[in-house]
Every structure is written in C-alpha cells, then in structure tokens.
Chains A and B, each alone.
Chain A
Amino acid sequence: MDFNDSPEEAEFRARARAWLAANAPEVNWAQLDQSDEPAMKAAGQAWQARKADAGFACISWPREWGGGGESPVMQAIFDEEEGAYGIAFRFFGIGLGMCLPTLMAVGDAQTCKRFVGPALRGDEIWCQLFSEPGAGSDVAASRTRAVRANDGSGDWIVNGQKVWTSGAHYSDYGLLLARTDPDVPKHKGLTMFWLDMRSPGIEVRPIHQASGDSEFNEVFFADVRIRDCQRLGEIGEGWKVALITLMNERLAVGMGSGPGWRELLALARELPGADGRPAVEDQALREKLADWYVGAEGIRLTRLRVMTALSRGQAPGPEASIGKIVSARQMQDVATEALDRLDQFGIVAGEAGGADIAAFDYNFFFGGALRIAGGSDEILKNIIAERVLGLPADIRVDRDVAFKDIPRGR
C-alpha cells in the first residue's frame, strides 16, 4: 500500500506539472462561454493538439498508434494535475474514452493507423451510435438495419434511427451498432461499423433536452452506404464489440463532474443560515458534507485501485460500475442541497443568479441525465449483482426468440 508516487511517477508528475504551468494559464478557462459551442470546440481542439504535441494526450495508449505507452496510473496523474486548472471539455470523452479503445481492440492495423492519431489530437471527433427509440438499456434490441448491397460490392446499406447520440452534430465519425440478421436471437444478429458522419443519407436533428440545452441528437439513416472494410469485428459479433465499448464507458464516465462538496462548502461559508449565522455552521449540512466527501473521495480512491489493477494488465472489470452509481446520484443531491441552502433565491437562474448557481443548476439537471446515460443506475446494479456477485440473470422472455418475433411496446 503506497499512495505516494513512485520515483517514475513523481518524475512524470513533475514533468506534467511543469508543462501545465507553462501552457495552461494562457487560456482563462473560467471565462470560456460554455454555451458558445463552436468557440468551446475550437478551444478544446487547440488544447488537445497541444497536449498531443507534448506527449500528454492518451498517455496510456499503445505507442505504435501514437499513444504514450505508459501505465493508466500516469494518465490518472495527468488528469489530476490538469483538473486542478478546471480544464474540462465534453467533446473528446466519447471518442477517446470509448470509441477509439474499441477500435484499437478490434480494428485492423490500417484502421487504427488512420484514426487513432487524428482522434488523439482532437482533429477528429467521434460519437457513439448505439441507443435507439426502442433500444436503450436493452441496446442489443437495436433495429437499425445494415443489409448487403445487391451489387456485389460487398458494401452495406444502412437504414434506421439512433437517438440520444451525444455530440452527433459536431462529430466527424461514429461507431454504429446495427442489425445484420433479424432471424436469430437479438444478441447474435448485430454487427459493429464505423462511419463518416458526413456520409450521404445521414441526418442529424438536435434534441431539446429537459435541461434546456441541446447536447444529444436523433440520427436518421436513409440508404447510407458503407464499405465492408468499415466493419469492426466479425459479422454477427457486434454485441461482443459493443461490450468493449460499454466497459470502457463505465470507466470513462465514473467520476462525476461539476460542483461537488468543495463548491458546496464554499457556498455555505458565504450564505446566511439560521439566525443569520453562516449556513456552514448548520450541523445537518455538515453531516451531509462529510458523507459527500466520503462518497467523492471513495470513488476517487476506488478508481485508483482499478488503475492499479489495469497497470497489471487486467481489463476494466464490472467493478468500475460503482463510480457512476455513486457520483451521478451525488451530483444531483449536492446540487439540490445547494439550491435548498440558497433558499428562495435558489430559483434564480441566468445572469441574476451568477456563475456558481448556474453550475449547481446544470448539475441539478445533468445529475439526473447521468443516472440514465451509459447504463442506468438499475442496469449498473444488475451488472454488479450478476457479474460481480454471481447472482442469477433476470428472467429473459426474449432470449431464444428470433429478433423479428420479439414483442415491442412504446
């Protein structure tokens, strides 16, 4: 047990710190207007390229594709140091956290060579085309069809619809889970592809979210032609490939984001509470703060335990699921508490509210979204129960039924 950096880690941290100190302060991160998406994207891409040039992008990816070839612990160290500057962009997480690891796991050398470098530099952005109106938790029920073209080219023709696709509107490429055989049970008739989001026949329509923002989209496919070399893995093996993406997703999204106990503590020090004394003196709030620290720090430390396992060459296991179960709920709870403590003023949003309230408002909604995205709380608990604890799978009425015969509801 040693929570100190090893000599190599200390050396790496010092290097990362020095580089960040020389490069990060050039941008005033707090002043970036989060709602100006094109400007944010440009800033994000510039920063990503800069990290790539210095060897600080995708530190634990294989060297042969342009990664740093270091252990995941080094990436965690860099993330910690970078996080201290409040640098966070939502553009790259899906590509670098999920799509590219999938590509590197199953794609051939040519595909990796073509895509890893540009993604790592932030030049090309990826999205995940899995969920559909009738297939979310049960994403293996995807019905977007890929059918062989009948012109002997070996190409595939895609028709159907995906939904909740984060960042589809600014993405260059997508990872597509499609049904290639509806006559076999659902898990067996899927195949994975990559595709160019500018292919003819793709239409992206932004969705107006509960939070008021538009970060995810509907994506429609009308006779979109893709080549067979865009297939990732064997025909009918798409579910296996999807599981690689989903496992990486659990690791990528486990930490939570935005204001946590620290920001709530800062707020509570300023706010008047009972009898005009600072809210932070309220014992009820202090007890909750303690529990939220235990939750957040517990997740951080658990993640480092996972990193220890990863650096020994183990794949991210279902254990990584616990991060999101704890952090998404906590984002929602911390934000709700902050608004409660603001009392009547808690309903004030926008400029009249101020940047700190806006951040809590964002998490008040987005915490709710994170409890659903990337495997809902309920699905993650099922995963822990079944894959970690070895409890029986839920009863499946659709298991041995040909996909086309499975009943569908709304």
Chain B
Amino acid sequence: MNFDFSDDQKFLKREARKFLEAACPIATTRSVLDSRDKPFDEPLWRKVVEMGWTGTVIPEKWGGSGLGHTDLCAIAEELGRVIAPIPFASTVYVFAEAILAFGEDRQCERLLPAIAAGEAIGCLAVGEGRGRLACDAMTTRVEDERLHGAKIPVTDGDIATHAIVAARDDAGLGLFVVDLATAEGVRREPIESLDPTRSAARIVFEGAECERLGAAGEGKAQLDTVMNRAAVLFAFEQLGGADRCLETAREYALERYAFGRVIASYQAIKHKLADIYVKNELARSHAYYGAWALGAGESNLPLAAAAARVAGIQSYDFAAKENLQTHGGIGFTWEVDCHLHLRRSRQLALALGGISNWREQLVQELEARNQH
C-alpha cells in the first residue's frame, strides 16, 4: 500500500506548478473572463500542448507520452489551482478518455494523435435543457448516419473540433463522434455561462454527418464510463482549486486587521479555515483513491468516482464561498479573484451532472455491495 504520489509524480507536479505559475498567472485567466470574443487562452493552450500534457495517457504509438492516469491527476490538480482558461477538461478528461475507452483502432489512429498534437479540441454534447439528464427522454436522433437535434449547454462547444454526442437511433441510446470543423449541418451559437473563463455553446445538428463510437445501443453504460473516468480527473481540478482558496483565504486573513489585530487571530475565522482544511483533506483522500481505481481499471470505479466527485464538489464549493466570506466586502468585487473560484467551482460541479446524480449513484453502489 502506498497512499501518496510517487517521487516521480511529485517531481512532475512540482514542475507543472512552476510552469503554470509562469504560463498562467491570474491575469491570463482574467483576460478570458474580461473579453467576450476570447473563448480561451490560445497561447496557454499551445504551451500546454508543447508540454505534452494533452497526450499524457495516450499511448506512444498514437503520439502520446504513454504515462499513467495518476500522472494526469497530478497535472489536473495543478490546472485546477490556477483556474486554467483552456479546454483541457473537455479535450483530455472527456474526449480523449472516451476515444481510449471505446474507439476502434482506426478512430484512435485518427483522433488520438490529433489530441496529443493539440490539433483536436473535444467536447461532450449530452444535455438538452433544464433539469436532470434523462437518457430515455433524449430527443437527439441519428437517422442514416445523420444527426438531428440540439444540445445545450456544451462546454467548449464553440471552439471544439470534435464532439461526442449522445443520441438515439433504432438500437437505443448511443455515442457518436462528429467532426464539427468539417461536417455540414452543424450550427453553433456561443452562449453566456456562469464561468466565462470556460466557453459554452448551443449546438444544433441538422443532418450532420456522424460516426458511431463503441457498440450500438450501449450509450447509457458508455456515458457512465465516460462520466466516471472524467469525475476522478475533475476531482483533482476541484482539489487544486479548493487548496488555492484555502491558501488565499489564509494569506488574506493574516494581513487584514480589524479591531487592532489580524482577522486570522479570531476563532470564527480560524475555525472556518480549519473546516475548509478538513473538507479538502477528505476530498484529497477520495481523489487519490479514485486515481488508483481509474489507473488500475478497478471494478469499484463507479463507487470511487462518485465518492471523489461528491467530496470534490463539496470541498471546492465550501472553500470558494468561505474564501469570499473571509475577504469581506472586497471579496465581492470583480477585481478580486474570489469570484473566479466561485465560478469555476460551480462550472466543475455541474459540468458532469450535479451532486444529486452522484450521490444517487453512490448509494446504488452501496446497496449493490451490501445485500441483506
């Protein structure tokens, strides 16, 4: 047993942090926040690609580095810390993982090298409207290998070159790959989102050409796999963000004076920060376990991923809110970064489906494992 990153992974993590501190200062994230026509930071994206991060777990024969998922988790944690304004999650945690899990060789050959080389940006087009996702009620359809329907919201849908779309055909629900850049019959409209440091779109398919990913009619199970794998990686981004919130709140509390002493000396503030610490440590433990379940191809991934996701959502949500609270009035200004975490914590909390979905999945797993 070893419940920690290896020395190599710790080295990778340190290097990643150093790199991102230089390549992604908060001004970079803010440049995307503040300009409507800048959906992501392209220079940063190119640098991240040059680092080889988009191909971290892609096998060498397809142009990647062939590293393990724990290495990718280490990178995810660092990207989360700096609120990176790039389509990394959509491309790497979701799109690449889906292709790796279900792609046929020819699909892998075509798409994975493009991801590793930074030529492809992916997205996952699932949701169709308000409320919980109901696979049975999905209206997007495939007829004669042509897609019809509308998806909203699609994170990074406006900038992606490829989408994985959940749609029904005669066999039931399935996953389909669409080449957004070349296919005809694709209409994309950027939409505003709660976290403008990540872009979002509505995509309308009007007879767009598409290609099946994986087995017909297995969409529900495939979607579960995609979500579970991404959930672990999201949990590391959330962990990085939550840790950063704790650091920021701590630094501010040690500098801000009220009633003649630093606010960090008041128990109400001390205990608040201790509460953040406790939640973050629980989230870290679950994330680590999830990383292991993901890498080891463990059958308990659905349980481990759900637990990592619930803990990740809760800790980042709490840390972001209490970080703002610790800052007082200045925390509620556009100029101070508290709201960037508040926004990103919501983005990450909802992008793979909200916490209720994951709690329900978790309890179903517990029920299955604890028969009468």
Residues of A near any B CB (own CB < 8 A): 1-6, 9, 73, 261-262, 265-266, 269, 280, 283, 286-287, 289-291, 293-295, 297-299, 301-302, 304-305, 307-309, 319, 322, 325-326, 378, 380-382, 384-386, 388-395
Chain B residues whose CB sits within 8 angstroms of the CB of A283 once the complex forms = 356, 360
- Interchain CB contact (< 8 A) of B6 among A1, A287, A294, A304: A1
> How many whole Å from A296's CB to the nearest CB in chain B?
10
Instruction: Establish whether residues B370 and A386, one from each chain, have CB atoms under 8 Å apart when the complex forms.
Output: no
Given contacts A269-B372, A294-B311, A391-B250, contact A1 B3 (CB under 8 A): yes
CA A131 to CA B71, docked complex, whole Å: 48
Q: Shortest beta-carbon distance, B291 to chain A, in Å?
A: 6
When C-beta atoms are compared, the residue in chain A nearest to B69 turns out to be A1
Q: Is the CB of B273 within 8 A of A325?
A: no
Segment 341-368 of B: residues with Cβ below 8 Å from A: 356, 358-360, 362-363, 366-367
B333 in the interface (beta carbon within 8 A):
no
For residue B62, CB closer than 8 A to chain A, the reply is no
Interface of B is mostly: helix
Considering the complex, which residues of chain B in the window 313-365 have a beta carbon less than 8 Å from any beta carbon of chain A? 314, 356, 358-360, 362-363
**Which of B116-124, B185-193, B278-286 faces chain A?**
B278-286
Tell me if B310 and A290 are in contact (CB < 8 A).
Answer: yes
Complexed CA–CA distance, A12 and B70 (Å): 27
What is the chain B residue whose CB lies nearest that of A319?
Answer: B281
A301 touches B278 (CB 8 A): no
Contact (Cβ within 8 A) B264 A392: yes
Do A389 and B288 contact each other (CB < 8 Å), given the known contacts A290-B359, A293-B366, A308-B4? no
4 further A-B contacts with Cβ under 8 Å, apart from A301-B286, A302-B281, are A265-B366, A266-B370, A287-B360, A391-B250
A–B pairs, 28, beta carbons within 8 Å: A1-B2, A1-B292, A3-B296, A6-B2, A261-B366, A265-B366, A265-B367, A265-B370, A266-B370, A286-B359, A287-B356, A290-B306, A294-B286, A294-B311, A295-B282, A298-B286, A299-B282, A305-B3, A307-B1, A308-B3, A319-B281, A378-B267, A381-B274, A382-B271, A386-B270, A389-B270, A390-B250, A391-B273
Q: What's the nearest-Cβ distance from chain A to residue B21, in Å?
A: 21
Taking a contact as CB atoms under 8 Å apart, the answer to whether A385 and B273 are in contact is yes
B interface residues with partner A (beta carbon < 8 Å): 1-6, 9, 70, 246, 250, 253-254, 261-262, 264-265, 267, 269-271, 273-275, 277-278, 281-286, 288-289, 291-293, 295-296, 306-307, 310-311, 314, 356, 358-360, 362-363, 366-367, 370, 372
The smallest C-beta distance from A263 to any residue of chain B, in angstroms, reads 10
Q: Which of B292, B307, B358, B359 contacts A2 (CB 8 A)?
A: B292
The 8 closest A-B pairs by CB, nearest first: A298-B282, A290-B359, A385-B270, A301-B285, A381-B274, A384-B274, A392-B265, A381-B271
Q: Is the CB of B278 within 8 A of A384?
A: yes
Q: Cβ of A290 and Cβ of B362 under 8 Å apart?
A: yes
B354 → chain A, closest Cβ, in Å?
11
CA distance A319 to B4 in the complex (A): 15
Could you say which residues of chain B place their CB within 8 Å of the CB of A287? Answer: 356, 359-360
Asked whether A391 lies within 8 Å of B253 as measured between CB atoms, the reply is yes
Q: Of A291, A381, A382, which is in contact with the most chain B CB atoms at under 10 Å from its CB?
A: A381
B297 to chain A, nearest CB (A): 12
In the bound complex, residues from chain B placing their C-beta under 8 Å from that of A301 are 3, 285-286, 288-289
With both beta carbons as reference points, the residue of chain A lying nearest to B4 in the complex is identified as: A308
Given known A382-B267, A391-B264, contact A305–B288 (CB-CB < 8 A): yes
CB contacts (< 8 Å) of B6 on chain A: these are 1
Q: Chain A residues near B306: list those with CB within 8 A.
A: 290
How far, in whole Å, are A73 and B278 apart by their CA atoms in the complex? 22
Residues of A within 8 A of B289 (CB): 3, 301
Residue of B nearest to A386 (CB): B270
**Nearest Cβ in chain A — how far from B2, in angstroms?**
5
